[in-house]
Structure 1
Amino acid sequence: MQTPDTDIRTAEHPDTRPPLPRLTEGQLTPGGLSALPSVPPPALGVVRRAAHLPRASWDRLAGPDDAYLATRWLDVAEDTSGAAMRYLTLTDAEGLTGALATAVADADAPWLAGRPDTVLRLCAEEGRQGARELAADLPGDLADALLPGLVCGGRHLGRTTLLSRDGHDGQDGTGDRLLAAAERLAEEEGLRSVAFLHVDEHDTALRTLLARRGYRSFHSEGYHWLPVPQGGFAEYLAGFSAHRRRRIGAERRAVRDAGVQIAMAPLDPADIPRFAELEATLLGKYGMSAWTPARSAAILERALGACGPDALAATARLDGEIIGFALIVVHHDRWFAHRAGFDYAAQRGLPLYFELLFYHLVDAAARAGATVIHYGTGSGAAKTSRGCLGSGQYAYLRTASFG
Structure 2
Amino acid sequence: MTVTEYATADGLPGAYWSADPADPRSSRAWLTANRWPEDGVRFLEIPGAGAACAVRTQDHHSGFPRMNCTDVAAGTGRDVEQSEADLARARTEGLHQLNVCALGYGQSVFPARGARFDADALLTALEEYAHRQGRLLTFLHLDADDPVLPSLRRRGWSVGVTDHYYRIADVGPDEAAYLAGFSAHRRSRLRRELASLAQAGASAEIHRGAEVTDRIQQEVAHLEACSDEKHGIPGDPARLLRVNEGLRHAFGSRYCVALVRDRHGNAVASSTALLGTRDVLPRMVGLGPGSKEIGAYFHVAYHLMARLARDSAARGVLLSTGTATAKLHRGATASPLLSAVPPAARAHAALLRRTDAAFASREAR
Q: Normalising by structure 2, what TM-score?
A: 0.82
Residues 70-122 of structure 1 deviation map (CA, whole Å, 9 limit, x = unaligned): 2122212455454251322336xxxx943322122234854332222333445
Question: Could you say which residue in structure 2 is the equivalent of 1:269?
Answer: 214
- Asked if 1:243 corresponds to 2:202, the answer is no
Distance change >3 Å, CA 304–CA 124, structure 1 → 2 = closer
Show the counterpart of 2:149.
207
- 1:152 aligns with one of 93, 100, 106: 100
Match of 1:225 in 2: 167
Which residue number corresponds to residue 27 of structure 2?
70
Residues 265/189 of structure 1: CA separation in 2 closer, same or farther (3 Å cut): same
Alpha-carbon deviation of 1:327?
0.9
Cross-structure match for 2:295: 351
**Counterparts of 2:119 and 2:215 in 1: how far apart (Å)?**
44
- The superposition leaves residues 252-294 of structure 1 with CA deviations (integer Å, 9 ceiling, x where unpaired) of 22221111111110243323333233223323434x4346333
Which residue does 2:252 correspond to in 1? 308
The answer for unaligned runs of 5 or more in structure 2 is 348-365
> What is the CA RMSD across the aligned residues, in angstroms?
3.1
Amino acid aligned to 1:197: L
- Which segments of structure 1 move beyond 6 Å, counting only runs of 4 or more? none
Q: 1:209 to 1:362 in 2, by over 3 A?
A: same
How far 1:355 moved relative to its partner? 1.9
Give distance in 1, aligned partners of 2:25 and 2:331. 23
Q: Assess, with a 3 A threshold, how the Cα gap between structure 1 residues 203 and 147 changes in structure 2: closer, same or farther.
A: farther
- 1:164 has 2:111 as partner: yes
Q: Label 1:348 to 1:47 Cα distance change in 2 as closer, same or farther (>3 A).
A: closer
Q: Which runs of 5+ in 1 are unaligned?
A: 1-20, 26-45
Distance 2:44 2:168 in 1: 31
Taking the TM superposition and a 5 Å limit, the aligned residue runs for 1:281-360 are 281-286=226-231, 288-290=232-234, 292-318=236-262, 319-343=264-288, 345-360=289-304
Counterpart of 1:275 in structure 2: which amino acid? V
Question: How many residue pairs align between the two structures?
Answer: 343
Task: Give 1:296 deviation, angstroms.
Answer: 2.2
Counterpart code for 1:190 = G
Name the SS of the counterpart of 1:340 in structure 2.
Answer: strand
Asked whether the 8 Å contact 1:228–1:365 carries over to 2, the reply is: no
Supply the AA of the counterpart residue of 1:113.
R
1:7 matched to which residue of 2?
Answer: none
Tell me: CA distance 1:90–1:223, structure 2 relative to 1, closer, same or farther (3 Å): same
Question: Is 2:47 aligned against 1:90?
Answer: yes
Deviation at residue 64 of structure 1 after TM alignment? 1.8
Q: Are 2:326 and 1:379 equivalent residues in the alignment?
A: no
Shift of 1:340: 0.9
The question of 1:197 aligning with 2:140 is answered yes
Tell me what 1:59 maps to: 17
Which range moved further: 271-280 or 234-243?
271-280
Equivalent position of 1:18 in the other structure = none
Contact 1:226 1:375 in 2 (8 A): yes
Per-residue CA deviations over 1:169-213 (Å, capped at 9, x if unaligned) read x9x66112112222222112222x22222112x326533322333
3-state SS, counterpart of residue 180 of structure 1: helix
Match of 1:99 in 2: 52
Q: 1:118 — aligned with what?
A: 71
- How far, CA to CA, are the matches of 1:127 and 1:62 in structure 2? 38
- Tell me, yes or no, if the aligned pair for 1:87 and 1:100 is still in contact at 8 Å: yes
Distance in 1 between residues matched to 2:172 and 2:139, nearest whole Å = 35
- CA contact under 8 A between 1:90 and 1:98: conserved in structure 2? yes
Contact 2:225 2:236 (C-alpha < 8 Å) held by counterparts: yes
Q: Counterparts of 2:32 and 2:59 in 1: how far apart (Å)? A: 20
Q: Partners of 2:76 and 2:304 in 1: how far apart?
A: 33
Distance 1:108 1:328 in 2: 30
Could you say which residue in structure 2 is the equivalent of 1:12?
Answer: none
CA distance in 1, matches of 2:158, 2:86: 11
Identity over aligned pairs, percent: 22
Name the aligned partner's letter for residue 335 of structure 1: V
2: distance between equivalents of 1:84 and 1:388?
Answer: 29
Secondary structure in structure 2 of the residue aligned to 1:190? coil
List per-residue Cα deviations over 1:309-345 (Å, max 9, x = no partner). Answer: 21100111112211111111112232111111112x3
Task: Describe the shift of the 1:399–1:74 C-alpha distance in structure 2 as closer, same or farther (beyond 3 A).
Answer: farther
Residues in 1 aligned to 2:278 and 2:204: alpha-carbon distance in whole angstroms: 23
CA deviations 1:2-57 (Å, max 9, x no partner) are: xxxxxxxxxxxxxxxxxxx5x553xxxxxxxxxxxxxxxxxxxx5444222112x1
2:202 maps to which residue? 260
